[in-house]
């Protein structure tokens, strides 16, 4: 019985030992398979272009390090993964950035294409909608600011005028001026795009200042605030330097101020018993100071219009009539020297409207109040707008950004009568190749 028992017990022990050995072998096999699966996953994905696949590789490597990092037998593989993971993560970040930029560039390209198409079609609503989206992404995009300012200005000078974009004209023109003066360069190399091109920064600066001055003066009736911008439009090497109506508008404002003083002065004379006083004489001196400025401005307007063979004779004749009225007032009925003054006026700087007016105190005794000089009649309210340069049509556009070519405007002038400073009407040229019908000249330079 003992023999049988011992044999039986030995068999049981052998069976237990065999089961333990098999279990250990299976465990080692599962671990090896798991390691191989992680390794194979890493190898299959680490060098792929797709970000998602490289993330799978990074995750497999991290799992390997986490599970087997303490195993001495896995040290070489773990060390490799520890070195590779940071590089892979950096590459993913860079790839995500590149892909994000590619998507943004594609969307931006669509936006530029939309903007160019609206510009070609002269569709102001779409120009402003797409242009504002571009500026939301690139607020310092000079050429887009120029186009928006110009497209809005074209609406302001339309017949009939459209005032929807007047504030936009002012804001985008100011933005363009600030950027140009800060040294910002044109992406298109022509300062603008397609239908609105100015060729160089001086011409662009002249026009942007003119945009502001025109809208403020004629569309918003902020004449005094408009003067510095109209003045600056004459100080650039720009087509705007030779727009006679800029000088006429400045002169008309000085005349308006002189008329206001005149009305107040007359009331004070009556109150003083139809006698001049020191106060009224000082007011007369100030009137003549304003007249000096008005004479200078009107003389420039007349000289430019007179020298332009395309100007309408009625327009130039009536500028001269207004000039003579001012001259007679300023010099107590004398007209001698007016033509000589006109001939040399452009050799002197145009007075800056922001500087103080110098009163003119004549050495001769002022005539009695009953015969005192009166400023020329106040201009009647104008129902038309002055002649303005119309933009001619530009070239082609670039798919990546707004392209350009300049153009220029024909104008029609309405004569100014001595009793009424009338403004001019405008028409816009359709294309470079087809000349628009006009009764007055194109301004020199491109718009």
What pLDDT tens digit does each residue of the chain (447 aa) get? Answer: 443 334 344 443 443 444 444 444 445 678 889 888 998 999 999 888 888 988 998 998 999 899 998 898 888 998 898 899 998 989 889 888 887 777 778 878 899 999 999 999 999 999 999 999 999 999 999 999 999 999 999 999 999 999 999 999 999 999 999 999 999 999 999 999 999 999 999 999 999 999 999 999 999 999 999 999 999 999 999 999 999 999 999 999 999 999 999 999 999 999 999 999 999 999 999 999 999 999 999 999 999 999 999 999 999 999 999 999 999 999 989 999 999 999 999 999 999 999 999 999 865 433 333 334 566 765 543 434 554 444 333 333 333 333 333 333 333 343 343 333 333 322 232 222 222 223 233 333 346
- pLDDT score at 157: 96
Give the CA-trace dihedral at 307, 310, 312, 313, to 10 degrees: 50
pLDDT of residue 96: 84
Answer whether the bond into residue 115 is a cis peptide, omega within 30°. no
- Residue 203 CA to residue 446 CA, distance in Å, equals 8
Express each pLDDT in 153-170 by its tens digit: 999 999 999 999 999 999
| Total domains in the fold of the chain | 2
3-state secondary structure of 446: coil
Structural domain contains residue 7: no
Residues 96 and 127 in one domain: no
Only one residue has tokens 């201009």, namely 379
Structure token digits, residue 445:
């330079």
The pLDDT value recorded for residue 122 is 93
Q: Is residue 283 part of a domain?
A: yes
Instruction: Single out the residue in 104, 139, 160 at which a domain terminates.
Output: 104
The model's pTM: 0.70
* Same domain assignment for residues 303 and 184: yes
Instruction: List, in sequence order, the alpha helices (H) in 46-141.
Output: 51-68, 75-121, 124-137
Residue 403 within a domain? yes
Residues 140 and 70 in one domain: no
**Which residues partner with 197 through β-bridges?**
192
| Residue 65: domain span | 30-104
What is the number of residues in the chain? Answer: 447
- For residues 118-144, one letter each, b for 16 or more C-beta atoms within 10 angstroms of the residue's C-beta and e for the rest, the string is bbbebebebbbebbebbbeeeeebbbb
Residue keyed to tokens 């300049």: 406
Q: Are residues 247 and 278 in the same domain?
A: yes
Domain boundary among 50, 70, 104: 104
Which pLDDT score is estimated for 447?
66
- At residue 444, the 3 state secondary structure works out as coil
Same-domain status, 419 and 291: yes
Q: Which two tokens stand for residue 28?
A: 């080692």
Asked whether residue 277 falls in the same domain as residue 238, the answer is: yes
């Amino acid at each position: 019985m003992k023999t049988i028992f011992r044999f039986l017990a030995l068999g049981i022990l052998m069976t237990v030992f065999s089961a333990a050995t098999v279990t250990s072998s299976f465990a080692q096999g599962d671990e090896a398979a798991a390691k191989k699966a992680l390794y194979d996953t890493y190898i299959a994905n680490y060098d792929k272009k797709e970000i998602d696949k490289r993330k799978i590789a990074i995750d497999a490597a991290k799992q390997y390090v986490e599970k087997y990092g303490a195993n001495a037998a896995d040290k070489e593989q773990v060390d490799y993964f520890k070195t590779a993971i940071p590089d892979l993560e950096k590459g993913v970040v860079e790839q995500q950035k590149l892909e994000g930029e590619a998507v943004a560039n594609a969307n931006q390209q669509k936006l530029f294409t939309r903007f160019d198409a609206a510009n070609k079609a002269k569709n102001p609503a779409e120009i402003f909608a797409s242009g504002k989206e571009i500026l939301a992404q690139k607020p310092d995009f000079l050429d887009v600011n120029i186009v928006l300012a110009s497209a809005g200005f074209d609406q302001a000078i339309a017949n009939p005028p459209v005032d929807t974009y007047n504030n936009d004209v002012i804001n985008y023109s100011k933005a363009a001026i600030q950027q140009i003066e800060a040294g910002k360069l044109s992406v298109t190399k022509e300062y603008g795009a397609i239908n609105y091109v100015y060729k160089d920064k001086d011409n662009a600066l002249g026009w942007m200042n003119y945009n502001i001055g025109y809208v403020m003066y004629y569309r918003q009736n902020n004449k005094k605030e408009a003067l510095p911008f109209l003045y600056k439009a004459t100080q650039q090497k720009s087509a705007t330097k030779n727009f006679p109506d800029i000088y006429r508008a400045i002169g008309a404002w000085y005349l308006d101020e002189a008329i206001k003083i005149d009305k107040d002065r007359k009331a004070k004379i009556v109150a003083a018993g139809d006698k001049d006083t020191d106060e009224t004489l000082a007011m007369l001196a100030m009137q003549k100071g304003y007249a000096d400025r008005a004479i200078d401005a009107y003389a420039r307007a007349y000289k430019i219009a007179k020298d332009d063979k395309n100007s309408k004779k009625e327009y130039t004749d009536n500028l001269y009539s207004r000039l003579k009225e001012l001259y007679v007032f300023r010099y107590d009925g004398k007209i001698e020297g007016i033509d000589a003054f006109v001939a040399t006026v452009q050799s002197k700087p145009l007075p800056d409207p922001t500087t103080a007016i110098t009163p003119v105190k004549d050495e001769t005794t002022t005539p009695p109040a009953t015969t005192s000089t009166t400023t020329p009649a106040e201009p009647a309210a104008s129902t038309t707008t002055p002649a303005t340069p119309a933009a001619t049509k530009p070239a082609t556009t670039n798919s990546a950004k707004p392209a350009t070519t300049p153009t220029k405007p024909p104008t029609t002038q309405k004569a100014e009568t001595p009793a009424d400073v009338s403004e001019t009407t405008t028409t816009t040229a359709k294309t470079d190749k087809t000349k628009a019908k006009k009764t007055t000249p194109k301004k020199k330079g491109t718009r």
